[in-house]
Amino acid sequence: MGRIQLNDVTKSFGDTQVIPPLNLTIEDGEFTVFVGPSGCGKSTLLRLIAGLEDITSGAIEIDGTDATSTPPAKRGLAMVFQSYALYPHMSVRKNIAFPLRMAKMDAAEITRRVEGAASVLNLTDYLDRRPGQLSGGQRQRVAIGRAIVREPAAFLFDEPLSNLDAALRVGMRLEISELHKRLATTMIYVTHDQVEAMTMADKIVVLRAGHIEQVGSPLELYRAPRNTFVAGFIGSPK
């Protein structure tokens, strides 16, 4: 399960409201992309969903249950950070196992999950290496592995590929799309890159200054952008 609903969610930092009342439903299993220019509130929105920031007003529901006050570790969601968030002194195995060790999971279950994730991500032969001995793409896979082992209801990605070079980015996009097909788990993917949005999304949420300009499938946004801002962002001819 992984249905996420935002009901009249707002966020202010001090006197500045960066998210005006926002309503959005993300269906279970959907690959949703938040797209918009730098500073429009993509990361803030993701952090509110993850519980890393408190909302100022409104409510967040996960699978029909109010999760507004639920701490991040209990929301059943896993944030995927850029690969430089790995621990350089730990092996791949220990990096992937880290959230499970924190949760004091049984050692045999940790091994089972880490090896399962490594197999899905083609990292089986690299479990004893350290991040510094891996390629950029492999490091990003380790960061994804750390989320997979938690068996989350949803994955939250915040521009995970932005520090990879262009060729690697194309490959990793495909890998993440494949992973979504394979796991059939809700994924929310933040990017300012139109190509990522158009090629990866089931549903695109176009954000501007904290509010939603338009929500739709890539084809819907391409065929019928609501205004020139959406058209410009999606790269359609209108």
3-state SS class at 216 = strand
Residue 213 near residue 207 (C-beta atoms within 8 A): yes
Strand pairing class (154-158; 203-208): unpaired
Q: Closest by alpha carbon to 147, among 122, 114, 192? A: 114
Nearer to ligand ADP, 133 or 162 (CB): 162
Specify the DSSP class assigned to residue 99. H
3-state SS class at 187 = strand
Q: Which stretch binds Mg ion (CB under 5 A): 37-45, 47-55, 146-154, 181-189?
A: 37-45
183 binds, among Mg ion, ligand ADP, none (CB under 5 to 8 A by kind): none
Binding of ligand ADP at residue 140 (CB under 6 A)? no
Binding of ligand ADP at residue 212 (CB under 6 A)? no
Distance CA 233, CA 215 (A): 13
Binding of ligand ADP at residue 51 (CB under 6 A)? no
Binding of ligand ADP at residue 13 (CB under 6 A)? yes
Q: Which stretch binds Mg ion (CB under 5 A): 3-11, 42-50, 93-101, 123-131?
A: 42-50
Binding of Mg ion at residue 43 (CB under 5 A)? yes
Distance CA 66, CA 117 (A): 30
Residue type, 36: G
Q: Which of positions 15-44 make contact with ligand ADP (CB under 6 A)?
A: 18, 36, 38-44
Binding of Mg ion at residue 82 (CB under 5 A)? no
**Rule CB under 6 A: which residues touch ligand ADP?**
13, 18, 36, 38-44
